[in-house]
Structure 1
């Protein structure tokens, strides 16, 4: 990643960042009504309606209309969505309009209109794996002084998911140079990547860094740590973390329960997994559906028919539903027992 490789992490000068990117964009032009649309605006437009109109204008390369629509939709209370910039794809023809689009966004109304549009364009570029292009958008936002930690979240997340940890840390360095303090969400993306790879030494160092910077652990921090503990077979440690979460009144993600279920099955603690989901049951119907269902399916695949029947019988008692395959398994084994 050429832009990231050029970063001098020791430079405290925000102007240094300017040399890392390709182009500066600035203009104060205002967008005017581009003229009549094929269909008249509805009396009560929706975000979906605006997304469709922006998509059509973007596909046609009509940046004047794109700018007009992005300004107008916010005034109409129709915020941008993850689909707003779906007309940008990872093809040469689509990417050829990226520079005009960045210029268009730089001329939007100040405040939430421009900030949200830029943030969602960055998210879109990260989704189609155009990280360097997303950093060019960051440069434009830096010039507009509209950066915050949320702007960088999609970039750090995308790199961490690809296990490109060195590049992800360089983006964190860019945040600091740009005057943006990394938050716990940014660090959580890195922490999850380390824990999913069972790199607990790196994870421990990062947790220490989070503490030193005065950032409190949240539910995703705990989720990552429990994942890491379960990946290396330290399920007891994961359960202790879960208890500390509950004692502190921190909400528990559904995925956290799944990590513990997988961890117990990984060390062949089948009975413990069954007792775990039963002990956690009765507090959240959706969690019950998720946890019992995940465990039942995994037990069937592992050939643990006795434990699977216990879980399915418990699901029946609790009024939880399960799919056709599990139902066929349950009915077949119920007949055999009879």
Structure 2
């Protein structure tokens, strides 16, 4: 066409760009866009390019094209906004999804139901189900209709926020509007009731799903295992695990973790250990959380060496510790009086980029809570002597720890003393008043 001097217009360019974008050749489409000499791109041109960037995950380029549109005085239409909402949703920028939705409303554009679904889902994932519900109500007022996925997202978000009543109200509304819940929706119901501690009702819905032929999956069983485990009913939790395996379902890492955690908290460390080894045998990924709950459980049963071996194993496997995992380790070591070992491990974590800022504070609080004041004082002196923290900060931490542990008398004694920050003279030598003098009569 160009060789024959056929006059090209914006429609020709748009058709070519759309074909290229549909074929995944976004860079080629970009070259065509830039080559529109003498032809002014229209809204469709920009929509095609924004769609192309969205398809290949180049959100920033899509936003640049959107800003360029506005600079040229082109008015974005509902397709432009819809595509941008999809872009932002894909990269979990839910706030920007909401901003785009608000702009559409302000400009009087029709908001497609799919865009509203994404915005509501985004708000739910952000822990803002009430805002999501408000947007849903607006859509219904305008004659729109929700779907099972939107209602499920709202239920799940309310449940995670501890609002079981609101979650169940959404479920009832969904059914009253003629929607048939799917396995994801029913799974959200069972999970919601388990989190609320209403385990019998959760079991009833679970049995109902099995009777109705709903695809009961690992998520259902994990919710029940977690619920009964947290309620201290570990035997019941174990039965659900065994039933799940008998049904041919393969437990995932999260499922193993909740059962191991339940055993650990119930003091059944041997059973937790068997699950840990079974997990390893079946090739299921053991995460830092798996190791953390096992280390915590072993220390609580005074199996200190086994806990330390597990820590070393975790490091050898290349699993990066978290502040929570170090907290479990340091708590166990401090309660057994092994402060130096805890310090050594803390020093080893620094090159790995894991430096728990409240490590010393956590240790002192744990010891005071356990009424091991002699150990706490010894640790406080050690922190100051090694120059790890300024004395004034350690003193403040100790006062707060004693107060929270219910030892107001010792806290007051420290407030009115020179412990930690004052000095005593021994001849010509000046020495800091040790924290251990707190316990001297």
TM-score range, shorter chain: 0.5 to 0.7
1:333 corresponds, among 372, 378, 382, to 382
Q: Which residue of 1 aligns with 2:167?
A: 131
Give 1:119 deviation, angstroms. 2.4
Q: Distance in 1 between matches of 2:190 and 2:234?
A: 19
Does structure 1 residue 282 correspond to structure 2 residue 316?
Answer: yes
Q: Give the number of the structure with larger relative contact order, counting CA–CA contacts within 8 Å between residues 6 or more apart.
A: 1
2:111 corresponds, among 50, 68, 71, to 68
Q: 1:317 to 1:207 in 2, by over 3 A?
A: closer
Give 1:179 deviation, angstroms. 4.1
Q: How does 1:80-95 map to 2 (within 5 A)?
A: 80-83=121-124, 88-89=129-130
TM-score by length of structure 2 reads 0.52
C-alpha offsets along residues 277-296 of structure 1, whole Å, 9 cap, x if unaligned?
12221323433665234322
Based on CA coordinates, which of the two structures has the bigger radius of gyration?
Answer: 2
- Is the CA contact 2:295–2:307 (under 8 Å) kept in the aligned structure 1? yes
Give 1:311 deviation, angstroms. 3.0
Q: Which residue of 1 aligns with 2:61?
A: none
- Is the CA contact 1:157–1:189 (under 8 Å) kept in the aligned structure 2? yes
Does structure 1 residue 161 correspond to structure 2 residue 210?
Answer: no
Q: Which residue of 2 aligns with 1:250?
A: 284
Q: Distance in 2 between matches of 1:232 and 1:86?
A: 31
C-alpha offsets along residues 187-246 of structure 1, whole Å, 9 cap, x if unaligned?
111111222233132123212321332222222222122123222322133222212211
Q: Which residue of 2 aligns with 1:202?
A: 236
Q: Which residue of 1 aligns with 2:372?
A: none
Q: 1:174 to 1:297 in 2, by over 3 A?
A: same
- Is the CA contact 1:176–1:182 (under 8 Å) kept in the aligned structure 2? yes
**Structure 2 residues not aligned, in runs of 5+:** 1-75, 364-378, 388-441
Q: 1:79 to 1:159 in 2, by over 3 A?
A: closer
Q: Distance in 1 between matches of 2:172 and 2:301?
A: 47
Q: Which residue of 1 aligns with 2:251?
A: 217
Q: Which residue of 1 aligns with 2:341?
A: 310
- Is the CA contact 1:81–1:120 (under 8 Å) kept in the aligned structure 2? no
Q: Secondary structure at the match of 2:215?
A: coil
Q: Distance in 1 between matches of 2:214 and 2:286?
A: 29
Does structure 1 residue 186 correspond to structure 2 residue 229?
Answer: no
Does structure 1 residue 118 correspond to structure 2 residue 151?
Answer: yes
Q: Distance in 1 between matches of 2:126 and 2:312?
A: 44
TM-score by length of structure 1 reads 0.66
Q: 1:88 to 1:334 in 2, by over 3 A?
A: closer
Give 1:251 deviation, angstroms. 0.8
Question: Following superposition, which runs of at least 4 residues in structure 1 exceed 6 angstroms of deviation?
Answer: 55-58, 84-87, 94-100, 102-106, 328-331
> What RMSD over aligned residues (CA atoms) do the two structures have, in Å?
4.3
Q: Distance in 1 between matches of 2:330 and 2:206?
A: 41
C-alpha offsets along residues 249-291 of structure 1, whole Å, 9 cap, x if unaligned?
1012333222212212322333432232122213234336652
Q: Which residue of 2 aligns with 1:6?
A: none
- Is the CA contact 1:122–1:154 (under 8 Å) kept in the aligned structure 2? yes
- Is the CA contact 1:82–1:120 (under 8 Å) kept in the aligned structure 2? no
